[in-house]
Amino acid sequence: MNQKELQRLVEDISINYFHKPFLHQVKINKRMRTTGGRYHLDDHHIEINQHFLAKKYHADLIGIIKHELCHYHLHLAGHGYRHRDADFKILLQRVGGSRYAPDIGLRQKQNKKYFYICKNCKAIYPRVRKLDTKRFVCGKCHGKLVLKEKNEIF
């Protein structure tokens, strides 16, 4: 599915389920990993995760579009558009949108490369990125952190 087809699909869903036109732009986001879509409050465009454009995820894509259109129409109408708002929950249920984007295997577990150990209480802090040990201390006892090799700890 390309940009024009996605735009047309969103406009059709907006008219059919919300009975209001979608007057802004839909964009495809290739970098999304943990979410299916995103509504932008500032310029009202909607971004859709590129991975959900595959034919096998079409039903999930429809649910994601309905979810983002709930944000869109409620925000423009001045009603509660956040996930926690009753207006949002009621409209989402009425149109049959998805509450959460399904996990299709895009979430990658980050490998912890760096292991810091507290000199005082021996608490272990696995991290993906390096820490500045002059700036950060142990969260439990405020002791000094030392970088260790994985095989030194386990």
Q: Can you give the residue range of the structural domain that contains 147?
A: 114-153
81 and 14, same structural domain?
A: yes
Number of domains making up the chain: 2
124 and 78, same structural domain?
A: no
Indicate which CATH number applies to the domain containing 30.
3.30.2010.10
58 and 11, same structural domain?
A: yes
pLDDT of the residue at 36? 94
Task: Indicate which residues carry an active-site annotation.
Answer: 68
Largest distance between two CA atoms of the chain: 63
pLDDT of the residue at 137? 95
Q: Which residues of the chain have pLDDT under 50?
A: none
d(CA 37, CA 29): 8
Task: Say if 103 falls within a structural domain.
Answer: no
Percent of the chain that is helix, strand, coil (3-state, to 5) = 35, 15, 45
Distance of CA 39 to the CA centre of its chain: 11
Task: Say if 106 falls within a structural domain.
Answer: no
Task: Say if 109 falls within a structural domain.
Answer: no
45 and 75, same structural domain?
A: yes
- The sign of the dihedral angle between the CA atoms of 92, 10, 62, 49 is negative
pLDDT digits (tens, 9 = 90+) for 58-78: 999 999 999 999 999 999 999
pLDDT of the residue at 101? 86
43 and 7, same structural domain?
A: yes
DSSP category for residue 57: G
Whether the Cβ atoms of residue 48 and residue 61 lie closer than 8 Å to each other: yes
Number of residues that make up the chain? 154
Task: Say if 104 falls within a structural domain.
Answer: no
67 and 11, same structural domain?
A: yes
Torsion of CA 108, 53, 56, 93, to 10 degrees: 90
86 and 125, same structural domain?
A: no
